[in-house]
Structure 1
Amino acid sequence: MEDTDNKRKREDNSTNLNPENKKLKNEELIVINNETLNSLKKSNNFKNDFPYEKDVGITKFINENNPGFTVSLKQRYNDFLVNEIDEKGNVVHLTNLKYEKKKVESEVDDSLSQEEKDNKAFELLKDYIKDEEKIEKIKKIVKDNGKDNTVVTTEDIPNKEDRTKLHQFFRKHFSNRIETETKINTVQINIHWANGRNTDMRSSQKGDSYWKQLGGEFCQFTMFKTNKETMNAINIIAYTLYTTSRSLGIAGTKDKRGITVQNVTGYHMTPEKIEKANKHLLAQGIQLGNFKFVKKGLKLGDLKGNLFNITLRKLSIDDNNIIENAIKSLKNIGFINYFGMQRFGTTSLPTYEVGKAILKKNWRKAVDLILMEKIGESERVRKARKIWKDSHDPKKALEEMPKNCTAEISILKAFEKMDQINAYSNALLNIPRNLRMMYVHAYQSYIWNLAATYHIEKYGYKPAIGDLVITEEKQKAMDSKKRGKHNKEKPDIITSENIDKYTIYDVVLPMPGHDIIYPENEIKNYYEDLLKKDDIDPKDMKIINKEYFLPGSYRKLIVKPGNVEWNIIGYNDEDADLALTDLDKINGKEAPINIPDGKFKALQISFSLPTSSYATMALREVTKMDTSIKSIKESGEVIDE
């Protein structure tokens, strides 16, 4: 039975991680009078309000002739299913929750007493150690529970495979009692009681041998999560397993709003331990399965993309030709590879504003922006922010701030620990790095979106002289050099001589940074003007602070989805589940039934996208709808929280 204190601690954490949010009404406004907000309003026409797509540079469509249609965008998070595609091109699915350990035929009858088992084992040991005197010494170690700290050293065992077999023999028959390790600089093995002293131990080597026998030092498992940010889910899993999030590896992050499936690796973890966590994780909307050992842990970028299965409810038209033409256009022509609205946060303060302040080394403004009052937040968050605004007392603000406000809590804890509220740079550094970098990446994405729109306005949907291009072959070469830690390879540049070799699908635009090149045409001037307007020099992105190292990267301007499929389904119940999740399939849930003459119609569409491309931007191309939270709420949609 679980320890009561641990159980209570877990339940308290569960409550903190999922605070009940009471939303403010749309018409409620917050009046903020502080130096930071006033300066923002003056310099950037900043409004403390949710942004539209146009506010983050999203304005163009590829196929303007498609009239579009209205649907319910993300009304329910289980209408948005995402499955990771691994580096080998396999779609990741959760198919089982149980770990079936491989059964090994026992050489010792389990019905025997421990003493009888040991005697049988000593007989078998003669196949490995021929010196009977040494076997007798090992018997004495076992019988006396190692009280004399005796160490028995074998004769030379030149063959590594034979040494491995002997290690495995003792682990199997004398687990937790006898330890073995190869003696340093020899081919001999030391054998001693598990707590023996004065031994020539190499525990790390022993550990490597143990995990190698299992198949690798990492246990890979599939994570199924519901309506959770990826890092939030990882933190919950780490807490449940009594470990740190650093011991868990992922290939990519997924949106909160949706049900997503992806691989995770855990360093020096056993499937049995992870499997037991499922009973605690179920209430958090997380389940783990498909366990196996692997030699390498996952790191960001170790994937090919994602497969999306999306249900768009309340389809507004009956003309299937319009839908079919729109989806054919998406499949054959593609969509503008804008960074979606999720990239810029879910509050009335776009995250790129914080990123801009950080890149300008205005640490105070960055902190003030994170802590300031925002519209549309829960009453508890609003109260905590007001306490901070009125008192600047980090302890009092922390008492009210919900645990899922990670950035705010990190800053307030830093202020409390340092006993001062003006160490802004250090306070920012207390925010977990992945979250801290999210702000500056949002600014890069904001600039990229603006540049993408300008490129289309200037050159249309065709490559131009001076554009940067990366073909499929070039991308493979760049990826290979990246994995091999060679010097970073640059894109090719279109000239009048080679322009016929390239298409719009080869064109890339840079994410601003200190180690990228810019197009050799008017797009370069546009980038420079945008950054100059914000008083940011790309060269500073290297020297600003080692914690905000931004070399930059390249992103395709136009993307074509793969594996595009669609169908129309009729339904009567607005809250009916219209698609099966991986967990539904494991639990044997029946597939939804199509009701052709149902009260409502839904468009179900599936497609695959490369990593970092946004499904919402593909849907935008099909429907011609604004995907921002502000626009969705203005249309009367109730977003399932």
Structure 2
Amino acid sequence: MLRSFSYVSDHTGFCGTVKNSPADFVVTEIEVPEHLFRGTRAESPRKTSNAPPELSSRCRHQPQKLRAGPPAPCAEACGGAPSPSGRAGGGCAAPPNKKQREGEPELKSGQEEASILDSLLGKPVSELLNKFACSLKDAWDLENNADAGTREFSLGPILDKKNRADLHSAVREKFPFLVTVTKGSEMIVKGNADYRELCQLVTEKETSDFFKFLDAKLENSTFSFEPDRNKEHRKVVHHFINRKFGKLLETKSFTVTDVNDQPNMSIMVRFREKSWSRKRSAGAFQEKQDIYTAFTLQKENLETLEAIGLLAAELGVLPSDFSYTGIKDKKAITYQPMVVKKVTPERLKEIGSKMEKKGMRIHNIHSACQHLRLGQLKGNHFDIVVRDLKHHGHDYSADLKERISEAMENVETKGFVNYYGPQRFGQGQNVQTDQIGLALLSEKMVKAVKLFFTPEDSDDPVNNAKRYFLQTEDAKGTLVMLPEFKVREKMLLRALNRYGVNHEGCTKGWLNIPHSMRIFYVHAYCSKIWNEAASYRLKIYGSKVVEGDLVFSEENDESISLNDKVHVITALEESANKYSINQVVLPMVGHSIKYPSNKVGQWYHERLSKDELQMCKFRVSSLQLNIPGCYRPILKNVQNLSYFLEGSEKGIEDSHLNESKVSLHLSFDLDPSCYATVCLREIMKCDF
């Protein structure tokens, strides 16, 4: 993906083998300093011979500003949700007068509920509540968005008991995805985690209708989900309702006839005998506070999302119950903090030996208070070995040691181009992740599904199942063939089995997998465009800062919006050399960013037109995807760089004759969203 792209320095570099084995590429996440969180005592880390460096084991409370210096304009690969003040184009994801997301209930359910809320709260507070509900829904649509679960809105003290009861009913009627709780006389509103979880299993309309049925508590009433032929999917829905509301509700599957007079199965829910009369708010159905368990995941030769799929299958939870701060390399040994919801520390310890057989170790298990967020890290530390050192071609004009020394000095001084690394695009795969992202942005849902199921050339159960699906479109048969740990594939296939391999069915299939996975593909496409834009910018203007470039303000004020922190260089500033190339940023495409006002801005528009996205709004409402965009520095610096050569004395002294006897050991730190392979590319002048 980076071949022919630009470099910062003009040193010669050298050749070598990177990632010869996972042990040659070790990544350890640098966590946020512990003093930024209020702490609790953690359990001792699990004793193993390969224990990672001691990582933070603090309880995560309300997210705080994490950066000590100027804020980076782009969180983890633009995947993390920026703060509300920093994200351009905030508010409801579905703007006024626009078509609502498919199957989503309207936020404004009627004049009656609005007037009740206005009369009980007063119009100003009622409007603030409406904005809170909109922003929470918007946050649920952003990457990982675990912090949305901690958001609360106070309605203030409501002293009258009847008024509190009326408010509970009115809020829940207008906003089914919210719950209200009373602390003393103060009423607090927050997102309903159970509503959000059920949305991952059935449509949002079904979820909304189910919770309205739950709130009504009508004697002898029942609720039925849409017909569903998939037994495994019905089992998951049964399990969810019994786990969350088992003391109040009971479920059973019964036979129905569909529009074609064919037999089908549906799940019916009813209140247990006399339980309908219990006067309890929906928020009280959650019998105990959500459990969060933090741990350090050590993995080898596994993608982060693949590792989560394996863990989720073993623990019987959803992949979306895991949170993490960044995606780590596959061909490496990596250490990263994670938090899993609804799993106790004891349960996590039980699966340790099984996970070791699958390339994972679980360390430092302890209770936590909430999810992690993407971008909630200081960076990553890398320990890398480059083997089989050689000169480029037949260039022996300098000693290999001199070539290495020159390269290290240049990169430490000048930095490297901040490209997204090849692993972001599925290096070596038949279908790159950005191709799927483009299909999703173009709303070509069937094409996106078929790209998703395009097999690799290997002959194994996963690729054989994918091959079978493309040949037959038999979703049910493919489900049987796929291993259990392929959770996302199975989620998608269940929807395809239920709705068909057509535009509607494939749309619902994509909605069936976690939001973070859907938007991952779109961000891969945006990353590809950014890489090409950075290469073009350096090719035509070099390291000179020119009129129309964008620079990011170092103003450390969260009340200033992201776009207001981006400044367009004037002709006067260019002639005065006011800014350096290290301050120049380029936009990640989205609906709320500004483009450079020079040739680079024109290039963006032409490039998007090439992919027929010139009219793209970067909102795919049918998939609940909202891509506001962000900004990323063109250049980045490496920190704490150190290295040494290992090999025989003869090999080091006479390295151009005994090159293969020498290996290079490097150690350095990079900021979040920076790629070590890209830094190595600049050092060695090699494409990987």
> Is 1:223 aligned to residue 292 of structure 2?
no
Give the counterpart of 1:608 among 655, 659, 669: 669
Task: Give the letter aligned to residue 336 of structure 1.
Answer: V
Q: Is the 8 A contact 1:98 1:275 kept in 2?
A: no
Letter of the 1:62 partner, please give it: V
Q: Does 2:149 align with 1:88?
A: no
- Among 650, 655, 679, the alignment partner of 1:618 is 679
Taking the aligned partners of 1:567 and 1:414, their CA distance within structure 2 comes to 54
The CA deviation at 1:518 is 0.7
**Aligned partners of 2:418 and 2:633 also within 8 Å:** yes
Equivalent position of 2:318 in the other structure: 244
- What is the CA-CA distance between 1:622 and the residue it aligns to? 1.1
Q: Does 1:300 align with 2:300?
A: no
Structure 1 residues 405, 489: closer, same or farther in 2, change over 3 A? farther
Shift in Å, 1:89: 8.5
Report what 2:588 is aligned to.
511
Residue 117 of structure 1 aligns with which residue?
A: none
Letter in 1 for 2:8: I
> 1:353 aligned to 428, 435, 441, which one?
435
The corresponding residue for 1:73 is 18
- Supply the AA of the counterpart residue of 1:297: H
Q: Which of 618, 623, 630 does residue 541 from structure 1 map onto?
A: 618
Q: Give deviations 1:83-104, integer Å, cap 9, x for gaps.
A: 11122299xxx993159xxxxx
Q: Unaligned stretches of 5+ in structure 1? A: 1-51, 100-182, 187-194, 573-596, 628-641
C-alpha separation in 1, matches of 2:350 and 2:378? 30
Distance 2:415 2:486 in 1: 37
Listed one character per residue, the Cα deviations across residues 56-110 of structure 1 (whole Å, up to 9, x for unaligned) are xx5111112x2221111212112111111122299xxx993159xxxxxxxxxxx
Deviation at 1:207, TM superposition (A): 10
- Distance change (3 Å), C-alpha of 1:329 and 1:287: same
**Amino acid paired to 1:464:** V
Quote how far apart the aligned CAs of 1:239 are.
Answer: 3.7
Amino acid at match of 1:619: L
Separation of aligned partners in 2, 1:516 and 1:438: 19
Corresponding residue of 2:159: none
1:238–1:244 Cα contact (<8 Å) kept: yes
| Partner in structure 1 of residue 170 of structure 2 | none
Deviation of 1:607 after TM superposition, in Å, equals 1.2
Task: Summarize the Cα distance change of 1:239–1:502 in structure 2 as closer, same or farther, 3 Å threshold.
Answer: same
Q: Which amino acid aligns with 1:84?
A: E
Could you say if the C-alpha distance between residues 419 and 458 of structure 1 is closer, same or farther in structure 2, counting changes exceeding 3 Å? closer
Show the counterpart of 2:472.
391
- Decide whether aligned partners of structure 1 residues 184 and 425 sit closer, same or farther in structure 2, where only a CA change above 3 A counts: closer
How far did residue 449 of structure 1 move?
Answer: 1.0
1:80 counterpart letter in structure 2: F
C-alpha separation in 2, matches of 1:390 and 1:219: 42
Aligned match of 1:363: 445
Quote the Cα distance in structure 2 between the aligned partners of 1:498 and 1:89. Answer: 41
Separation of aligned partners in 1, 2:13 and 2:382: 20
Partner residue of 2:531 out of 449, 458, 468: 449
1:391 aligned partner, one-letter code = T
Task: Give matches, 1:36-51, under 5 Å.
Answer: none
1:531/1:444 CA distance change after superposition, 3 Å: same
In the TM superposition, what are the counterparts of 1:127-138 in structure 2 within 5 Å?
Answer: none
Q: In 2, distance between residues paired with 1:98 and 1:204?
A: 40
1:399-414 alignment to 2 at 5 Å?
A: 399-402=480-483, 408-414=489-495
CA displacement 1:277-324 (0-9 Å, x = unmatched): 322322222222224444443111111211111111112256211101
- Give the secondary structure class of the aligned counterpart of 2:605: helix
Aligned partners of 2:623 and 2:510: how far apart in 1?
A: 13
Q: Which residue of 2 aligns with 1:24?
A: none
SS in 2 for 1:339: coil
Residues 89 and 304, structure 1, Cα contact 8 Å, conserved in 2: no
- Alignment-derived partner of residue 262 in structure 2: none
Does the 8 Å CA contact 1:334/1:561 hold for their aligned counterparts? yes
Q: Does 1:432 align with 2:514?
A: yes
> Contact between 2:455 and 2:464, CA under 8 Å: does it hold in 1?
no
Once the two structures are TM-superposed, the CA of residue 503 in structure 1 deviates from its matched residue by: 1.1
Q: Which residue, out of 559, 571, 585, partners 1:496? A: 571
Distance 2:627 2:615 in 1: 9
What is the CA deviation profile of residues 556-599 of structure 1, one whole-angstrom value per residue up to 9, with x for unaligned ones? 10111111111112289xxxxxxxxxxxxxxxxxxxxxxxx997
The aligned residue for residue 568 of structure 1 is: 645
Change (3 A) 1:206 1:373: closer
Is 1:554 the counterpart of 2:635? The answer is: no
Counterpart in the other structure of 2:607: 530
- Structure 1 residue corresponding to 2:496, chosen from 415, 422, 443: 415
1:313 aligns with 2:387: yes
Counterpart position of 1:336: 417
The letter for the 1-side match of 2:451 is: L
Partner of 1:463: 545
| 2:348 is aligned with 1:266 | no
Q: Tell me how far 1:266 sits from its aligned partner.
A: 3.4
Contact 1:490 1:516 (C-alpha < 8 Å) held by counterparts: no
CA positional deviation for 1:365: 2.1
The question of whether the paired residues in 1 share the 8 Å contact of 2:309 and 2:485 is answered with: no
User: What are the Cα deviations for residues 225-261 of structure 1, in whole angstroms up to 9, with x where unaligned?
Assistant: 2222112222333344443333332111212111111
- Per the TM alignment, residue 383 of structure 1 is displaced from its structure 2 partner at its CA by 3.6
Q: Is the CA contact (8 Å cut-off) linking 2:443 and 2:620 kept in structure 1?
A: no
Structure 1 position 378 matched with structure 2 position 324: no
The Cα RMSD (Å) is 3.8
- Measured in 2, the distance between the counterparts of 1:571 and 1:417 equals 64
Partner SS state of residue 524, structure 2: helix
> SS of 1:425's equivalent?
helix
SS of residue paired to 2:17 = coil
How many pairs were matched up? 443
**Following TM superposition, by how much is the alpha carbon of 1:419 offset from its aligned partner in structure 2, in angstroms?**
4.8
CA distance in 2, matches of 1:395, 1:436: 22
State the alpha-carbon separation in 2 of the partners of residues 88 and 514 from structure 1.
34
Go from structure 1 to structure 2 and tell me whether the alpha carbon gap of 1:612 and 1:60 turns closer, same or farther (over 3 Å shift).
same
In structure 1, what is the Cα distance between the partners aligned to 2:307 and 2:460? Answer: 24
CA distance in 2, matches of 1:288, 1:225: 9
**CA distance in structure 2 between the aligned counterparts of 1:322 and 1:420, rounded to whole angstroms:** 56
Amino acid at match of 1:86: E
CA distance in 2, matches of 1:351, 1:341: 10
The equivalent position to 2:6 in structure 1, one of 60, 64, 68, is 60
How many Å separate the matches in 2 of 1:274 and 1:222?
11
Report the Cα offset of residue 444 of structure 1.
Answer: 0.5
Letter in 2 for 1:424: C
Letter in 2 for 1:249: S
| Paired residue type of 1:59 | F
Post-superposition CA distance 1:186-224 (Å, at most 9, x none): 9xxxxxxxx9x999999989999x98xxxx964432221
Distance of aligned partners of 1:538 and 1:257 in 2 relative to their CA distance in 1, 3 Å threshold = farther
| TM-score (norm: length of structure 1) | 0.62
Deviation of 1:548 (Å) = 2.1
Which structure is larger by alpha-carbon Rg, 1 or 2?
1
CA distance in 2, matches of 1:383, 1:256: 22
What is the TM-score of this pair, normalised by structure 2?
0.58
Amino acid at match of 2:582: Y
By how many angstroms is 1:274 displaced?
A: 2.9
Change (3 A) 1:434 1:201: closer
Does the CA-based 8 Å contact 1:512-1:538 persist in structure 2? no
Q: Distance in 1 between matches of 2:407 and 2:368?
A: 43
Partner of 1:124: none
How far apart are 1:531 and its partner, in Å?
A: 0.5
Q: Is the 8 A contact 2:582 2:635 kept in 1?
A: yes
